[in-house]
Structure 1
Amino acid sequence: MPRIQKVLPEQASDKVATQLEAIKAKRGMVPNMFGTLAHAPAVLDGYLAFSEALSKGRLTAVQREVIALALAQHNQCGYCLAAHTAIAKRIGMDEAAILQARGGSSPNETDSAITGLTIALLEHGGELSTDRLEALRDMGIDDGLVLEVIANVAMNIFTNYTNSVAQTDVDFPPVTLAL
């Protein structure tokens, strides 16, 4: 049972109800996480704007999901792992690629570098050595992509923590946390 109940559209202010209806129109449902975020309209606004902005960046949808899957696994967020596994499948990732991303790697060299950066940021509290940054540049991960990875890490840590604290009911096909 969730510790923070979701806000239903009929319980929300007009603005939040409109946002939840827009989410439903876009996604075919209002995932429980959005109902949870609706308790704080400014937070819901910020998340939606940040997510939309990052979707227009240079990272591909697959790269954004690789980041999300690695973080959800590392942070043991069952809700996020289920949601991002469903999204990953929808955008064409197969089960093997999903499991690799959850484990912090990828068969694609660039995606593997991005996942490695993601895990390094987590393990070192956002610190990155000069040598590591230079190695990323040598692999074609320029400063702009590094910043996009950092932004995606921040956004996904936010949702991992939110769903862990709220104990949001999983409304996607469940995924076992153990690899």
Structure 2
Amino acid sequence: MTRIAALSLDQAPAGSRAALEGIQKGLGFIPNVFKTLAHSPAALSGYQSLAQALGKTSLSAVEREVVALAASEVNGCDYCVAAHAFFGAKAGLSEEAVGKARMGTLSAVAALAHQITESRGQLSDAQITAAHNAGLTDSKIVEVVAQITLLTLTNYLNNIAATDIDFPPSSN
């Protein structure tokens, strides 16, 4: 049972409605996480702004989904694991790759995302060196941290709200 209601478009504050309409237009439906974020127009807008900015980093769509899966697994967010397994598959990840991303074993990006989330950013020198040795640049490391930050918002919100999982969407 949800603990924070997912608002319909009509129930959402006026400041959230345009964002929700844009999400519906882009995805064909409004995921419950956004209906929950809609309680705070500022939070919804902040999420969207950061997500849009992170779409322009050097991380590929697959890498962003890998980070999302690793962080969501560590943070115990079943909603985001389901959502990003769906989006990861759309980006080209196999079911096996999704599982490895969740465990942080798929790639250097997955390992780094898992380590950062698990340690709350308290990485050792050896872990940073390993990331560099695996080919991750300082800018890529910063971008992984930023992507984790985005996911932490939705992971924590969904865990607190007990958001009903609506992935895979029934309309797709």
After TM superposition, the score normalised by the length of structure 2 is: 0.92
Match of residue 35 from structure 2: 35
Aligned to 2:118: 123
Deviations 1:73-109 (A, max 9, x none): 2222111111111101111211111111112111xxx
Out of 113, 125, 139, the residue aligned to residue 144 of structure 1 is: 139
1:122 Cα deviation after fit? 2.2
Q: Which runs of 5+ in 1 are unaligned?
A: 107-111, 175-179
Do structure 1's residue 153 and structure 2's residue 148 form an aligned pair? yes
How far is the alpha carbon of 1:8 from its aligned partner?
A: 1.3
Paired residue for 1:109? none
Distance in structure 2 (CA, Å) of the matches to 1:135 and 1:74: 20
Tell me how large the CA RMSD over aligned residues is. 1.4
Q: Which residue of 2 aligns with 1:4?
A: 4
The alpha carbon displacement at 1:5 in A equals 0.3
How many angstroms apart in 1 are the aligned matches of 2:62 and 2:38? 27
Aligned equivalents of 2:87, 2:60: Cα separation in 1: 13
Letter in 1 for 2:57: G
State the TM-score, normalized to the length of structure 1. Answer: 0.89
2:99 counterpart of 1:99: yes
- Following superposition, the deviation at residue 40 of structure 1 comes to 0.8
The secondary structure found in structure 1 opposite 2:10 is: helix
Percent of aligned pairs with the same amino acid: 41
Q: Indicate yes or no: 2:24 matched with 1:55.
A: no
SS in 2 for 1:10: coil
In structure 2, list runs of 5 or more residues that go unmatched: none
